[in-house]
Amino acid sequence: RKVFVEQLNPIVQNFYQIISGGKETVSVIYESHLLENTFAALLKESLEKDRMLTYTSKGIHKDDLLFEMDHVLIKKIGSQGQQKSFLISLKLAQMSLVKELTKKTPILLLDDIFDKLDDTRVSQLIELVNKESFGQIFITDTHRERTESVVKKINEESIIFEV
C-alpha cells in the first residue's frame, strides 16, 4: 500500500497541477500504525484496550489515506471545486497507474463531472483528457449544450446519447 501511494502521489500532483492551473499543491499520504511498529507489537500493545472494546483497534483495517492541499487536509480548507478537482486527479492517476501495471486501458467514466467546476478547470480537464491516452471515455451531464460544447473540443470520435 505504501509503495502504491508513493507511485500514485506524483501522478495525482501532476494531474491536479494541470486541472487547477498550478494554483495549489496537493498530496496523498498513507497513514498506518504499521509504519512505526510491527503487527505483533501493535497487537500486544493494544491487547487490554482491544479486550475492553471487543474488537481490534490497531492494524491494516485502520490504515487511512490523507488528502492534503498546501499541507492541510483538503476536506478542511478546499472549496467544492478544489475537492472535485482533487478527486478527478486521483481517479485519473489511479487509471493511469492501473493501465501502466496491467497494460490494459480501463474505461474512464466522468459522471456529472462539470458540477462544482468552473469553466477554467473544465477546459484544463478537457485539454488533459485530450493530450493523454485515456482510451474510451463516458461523460454524463444534465446540460446537453454544455456536453456538446465539451465533446467538440475532444479530438476523438464521439457520440452523444440522450436518456
- The CATH code belonging to domain 2-153 is 1.20.1050.90
Q: Given pLDDT bands bounded at 50, 70 and 90, which one contains residue 91? A: very high
Element (H, E) at 12: helix 2-20
- In this prediction, residues 97-105 reach a mean pLDDT of 90
pLDDT band, very low/low/confident/very high, at 73 (cuts 50, 70, 90): very high
SS3 state at 157:
coil
* Single-letter amino acid code for the residue at 61: H
Which pLDDT band, with edges at 50, 70 and 90, does 59 fall under?
Answer: confident
Taking the domains of the chain in order of start, what are their residue ranges? Answer: 2-153
DSSP string, 33-83: GGGTS-HHHHHHHTHHHHHHHTS--SSGGG-EEEEEETTEEHHHH--HHHH
Q: Nearest-CA neighbor of 11 among 79, 84, 80, 97?
A: 97
pLDDT band at 92 (very low <50, low <70, confident <90, very high): very high
Task: Show the cell assigned to 15.
Answer: 494531474
Mean pLDDT score across all residues of the chain = 87
What's the whole-model pTM score? Answer: 0.81
